Amino acid sequence: MISVDEALATVLGAVEPLGVERVPLLDALGRVLAQEVRSPRDIPGFDNSAMDGFAVRSADVAGATADNPVRLTVTETVPAGKMPSHEVHPGQAARTMTGAPIASGADAIVPVEQTRESGNQVEILTSAPPHAFVRPRGEDVKQGELAMTPGRLLGAADLGMLASLNRAMVGVYRRPRVAIVATGDELVDVDEAPSGAQVVNSSAYALSGGIREAGGEAAMLRVARDTPDEVRERLTEAMAFDIIFTTGGVSVGQFDHVKTVMDELGLKTLFHGVAQRPGRPLKFGTLENRPVFGLPGNPVSTLVCFYLYARPALLKMSGRTEVGLPRVTARCARDIKLPKGLTEFVRVKLERRDSGYVAVPTGNQGSGIFSSIARADGLLIGPAERERLREGDSAQVLMLAVETGEPFFERRFHKN
């Protein structure tokens, strides 16, 4: 068996970002930018007003006060979206709305609150230094300026920025297409009540959700029953995808055919077995340069291995550079016994106590107890070199609320 760190390094060393595709701007949300984006022009393209007010020559209003106002002649009103018609000469002002261009000759804006109007005259009640309340041309980005670099995860603000740069289509990394091959005679689908020794194929649904959270496209193939022919048929079908996940059948049982069929198809095994609990039987390799995860059959083991190894692989294939789960440090709420020589991933709830996090195990930690991970905020890392974590000991916790991370918990536990 190899260590957890060695397994992750092996997985990440075996995958690369997928190809680039161009998509409509709205479809780029949550995707990773694969191109350099430069501005085609100055934004804004003209000096404009930051306030509703009057465009003036700063020299005309120097020394103006409420007790000693300066009277100017209003030459025009300039709304947003319209260019001024007149130059501002000495003794003149142009009524100018927020976002509207500054008339030639003017170099400052006096907010309307600092003025008094009467007919075509305006009294200026305060001085205005040059450039006061003026947003200069190119203040946002200048023509030719690098606005975005490859590798950026595109959010809502990024779509707005790209729209301002007239990018109707965007080059992004392709989403990984993932085939999920669940194996076992005992599996029934979610809409079928299990009877006898049957169980619901819950792992496939958890994996599908995790894949979608990570930005991939999941396809649950028909369950492969415990015969070499069915396993071979399903794995052959899965070869049309970018990455393959199998669940179950990677151990050494009489009906565990996945390992045998994978080897027959030419799987290049990179490791089989990781010194951890749960998830020790994990198998990983490549099949015609396609990553293949042979995930354990127990549902918690499946999902833990997904978060530790498969999710980082999917993120890297999607063009992401930050691929690990966010971490926080927490104190153990009670003693936790650890297996000798294995890294233990303990499912825990987090509580906020005394300006710090406290990790509370979610109950029975068996690899078949799905509720233990469904109730968990994170996975507490029990080091392989320790046999026990004592109450009050500090430990690292991998956060499972991967889209919110620590700020979510800061808000959740903040006391007003």
Within 175-259, strands assigned E span 177-182, 187-188, 199-200, 217-220, 243-247
Phi, then psi, of 223 in degrees rounded to 5:
-60, 135
Which is nearest to 310 in space by CA: 328, 291, 326?
291
pTM: 0.84
Q: What is the pLDDT along the chain (416 residues), one digit of tens a residue?
A: 899 999 999 999 999 999 999 999 999 999 999 999 999 999 999 999 999 999 999 999 999 999 999 999 999 999 999 999 999 999 999 999 999 999 999 999 999 999 999 989 999 999 999 999 999 999 999 999 999 999 999 999 999 999 999 999 999 999 999 999 998 888 878 788 878 888 878 889 999 999 999 999 999 999 888 888 999 999 999 999 999 999 876 555 544 678 888 888 999 999 999 999 999 999 999 999 999 999 988 889 999 999 999 999 999 999 999 999 999 999 999 999 999 999 999 999 999 988 799 999 998 888 888 899 999 999 999 999 999 999 999 999 999 965 433 444 444 443 33
Backbone angles phi, psi at 314, to 5 degrees: -60, -40
Rounded to 5 degrees, φ, ψ at 21 are -135, 150
Q: Is 287:244 a contact under the CB 8 Å cutoff?
A: yes
CATH H-level superfamily of 48-135: Molybdopterin biosynthesis moea protein, domain 3. (2.170.190.11)
- pLDDT of 227 reads 85
Which of 3.40.50.1970, 2.40.340.10, 3.30.70.240, 3.30.365.10 would CATH assign to domain 327-413? 2.40.340.10
Q: Give me the phi and psi of 146, to 5 degrees please.
A: -70, 115
Spelled out in words, what is the top-level CATH class assigned to the domain 4-17+175-317?
Answer: alpha beta
pLDDT at 353: 86
Show Cβ contacts of residue 191 under 8 Å, excluding neighbours closer than 6 positions: none
pLDDT of residue 193: 83
SS3 415: coil
Superfamily of domain 20-43+154-173: Molybdopterin biosynthesis moea protein, domain 2 (3.90.105.10)
Q: At what angle do helices 228-238 and 258-265 cross, to 10 degrees?
A: 50
Sorted by where each begins, the domain ranges of the chain are 4-17+175-317, 20-43+154-173, 48-135, 327-413
Number of H helices and E strands in the chain, helices first, is: 9, 28
pLDDT at 416: 32
Name the residue with tokens 């970018």.
242
Q: What is the pLDDT of residue 409?
A: 44
CA-to-CA distance for 224 and 237, rounded, in angstroms?
11
